[in-house]
Amino acid sequence: MPRTEEANQRIREEQRAKILDAAWRAFAKKGTAATMAEVAAEADVSYGLVYRYFSSKEAIFKALVEQMLQSGVLRVQRLLDQPGTPGERLTSLITKILEARRERSEIFLLFQHVMSDETMSEDVRKRLQERGQAYYDGMRQLIVEAQATGEVVADDPDQLVVALMAYLDGLSRLAARESEMLKEHFPDPEIVLRMLKP
């Protein structure tokens, strides 16, 4: 009995998802230098099959970024709408970001790669940039609120956000270089949180 169009569609979606899962793993291992062949090996499918779904490595990157943007992993509002005082929510937000950078550094590597790759589709880069801006704004808002409650030092809130962003970006960079010192001595969240202490 021939497969129905519906069944074929389901198989295609499953294969595509399987390749993307494999791409994350290949990417976690090799960074953006991972090749299409390594993605195929990781997915345990042929090189040709990967090409049937994705015309290039950039197409895979784009699909991975889309996946992240849609998944809500990056939804700032969800992170902001937590119980507690502004200072507690800020602490919880920063701690969660640090955990994510530690455990899934490949996501942030991918973002950095896509943002600095001028051949990447303008649309994807623009949406990532908007998401970055939303993070900046959300963090700034929490800082201002926590300054009002006296939980955060009364410095210029923009300087504080830039300092936090620089720190988080720098950690991702060290992770990107597979820094042994980062693996062995990942700084406790307390250290960066002191930057905000009154």
# residues contacting a second copy (CB under 8 A): 36
- Within 31-156, where are the H helices? 36-43, 47-53, 57-71, 76-80, 86-103, 105-116, 122-148
Binding map of a second copy across residues 97-136, x = CB under 8 A, - = no contact: ------------------xx-------------------x
Q: CB-hemisphere CA count at 13 Å for 111?
A: 19
Instruction: Please state the closest distance from residue 194 (CB atom) to a second copy, in A.
Output: 5
When the beta carbons of 59 and 165 are compared against a second copy, the nearer one is 165
The minimum distance between CB 181 and a second copy, in angstroms, equals 6
- By beta-carbon proximity to a second copy, the closer residue of 59 and 115 is 115
Distance CA 107, CA 175 (A): 11
Site for a second copy in 163-182 (CB under 8 A): 163, 165-171, 173-174, 177, 181-182
Q: How far is the CB of 53 from a second copy (least distance, A)?
A: 29
**C-alpha distances in Å from residue 49, one per residue of 19, 40, 57, 148:** 9, 8, 13, 57
